[in-house]
Amino acid sequence: GYGDPIQKRFRFSDGERVVGVSTSDSRGRPAVPEPEPDAEPSEAAPHGVALTRFGRIIRFSLSSHAEVSQRSGRRYARVAKGDRVLRVLPSAGHEHASIATRGGNALAFPVAEVGILKGAGKGVTGIKLKPGDEVLAYDLVGELSAGVEVTTTRGREVVVSPKRYGGSRAGRGQAVMKRGGFQDWAPPLERLDLIFGQGEE
């Protein structure tokens, strides 16, 4: 069949839009270490890590979104006027955020540098942008040689890996090229049927 329209489950009359889909099934989420005995439940992993067009990064516990919500949903972020969330990804806490801007800057840093919010907030600066620039690509990676794969305006492919473009949160990153920038990127395809052992390669 065609399934149910998502409008049946969520209300979009207030201008909301879908930026991603995640599963509550533990098989489709990253493996997380055992929490510390005195850890706050509101800060427990796995986390959701969101990045906005203007470079703000937000980390929050997915446990606060485990229960079924009303059609209006539950807010996890508050964005400034003109800004919007690009992606929200599940995290165990050990990954690096890999970011590329449209203007040609690249930066990777540990998500552990981002504090965990207990409620909806604006987050902190993930990457500092030049005037007129914006984030084009974002992913979480667990290997130092992995990262978002972007294409420059001259056709060169670049992998924004922690090994090559590693730095600290809130930095400008490295300018990959003096003229031009990045123009093409697509999120990697996730095969949930393979994750759940129901598909074939």
What range defines the domain where residue 133 resides? 6-15+41-178
Does residue 33 fall inside a structural domain? no
Which among 49, 198, 155 is positioned nearest to 109, based on CA atoms?
Answer: 49
HSE-up (13 A, CA, CB side) for residue 186: 3
> Poorest-confidence range of 11-20, 54-63, 72-81?
11-20
Does residue 167 fall inside a structural domain? yes
Residues 145-197: tens digit of each pLDDT: 999 999 999 999 999 999 999 999 999 999 998 888 999 887 777 655 555 55
Q: Which pair of structure tokens corresponds to residue 84?
A: 């919007």
Percent over 90 (pLDDT), the chain? 54
For residues 50-77, average pLDDT: 81
Q: What is the pLDDT of residue 32?
A: 64
Full strand arrangement of the beta sheet holding 182-184:
157-160, 148-152, 182-184
Rounded Cα gap, residues 114 and 59, in angstroms: 7
Does residue 184 fall inside a structural domain? no
Q: In DSSP terms, which residues pair with 174 in a beta bridge?
A: 106
Does residue 168 fall inside a structural domain? yes
Does residue 173 fall inside a structural domain? yes
Does residue 113 fall inside a structural domain? yes
The DSSP annotation for 3-68 comes to ---GGGTS--TTS--------SSGGGS---PPPPTT--GGGPSSEEEEEETTSEEEEEEGGGG-S-
Q: What is the pLDDT of residue 4?
A: 77
> Is this model's pTM higher than 0.85 or not?
no
Domain count across the chain: 1
Q: What is the pLDDT of residue 11?
A: 72
Does residue 185 fall inside a structural domain? no
Q: What is the pLDDT of residue 36?
A: 58
Q: Decide if pLDDT at 34 tops 70.
A: no
Q: Decide if pLDDT at 44 tops 80.
A: no
The DSSP annotation for 99-143 comes to EEETTSEEEEEEGGGSPEESS-B--EESSPPPTT--EEEEEEESS
Taking all residues of the chain, what is their mean pLDDT, rounded to a whole number?
Answer: 84
Does residue 197 fall inside a structural domain? no
Cβ 79 vs Cβ 19: under 8 Å: no
Residues 106-155: tens digit of each pLDDT: 999 999 999 999 888 999 999 999 999 999 999 999 999 999 999 999 99
Rounded Cα gap, residues 166 and 146, in angstroms: 11
Q: What is the pLDDT of residue 8?
A: 72
Which among 133, 135, 127, 118 is positioned nearest to 168, based on CA atoms?
Answer: 127
- Please, which pLDDT band fits residue 35 given cuts at 50, 70 and 90? low
Q: Decide if pLDDT at 77 tops 90.
A: no
Say which CATH number the domain at 72 has.
2.120.10.90
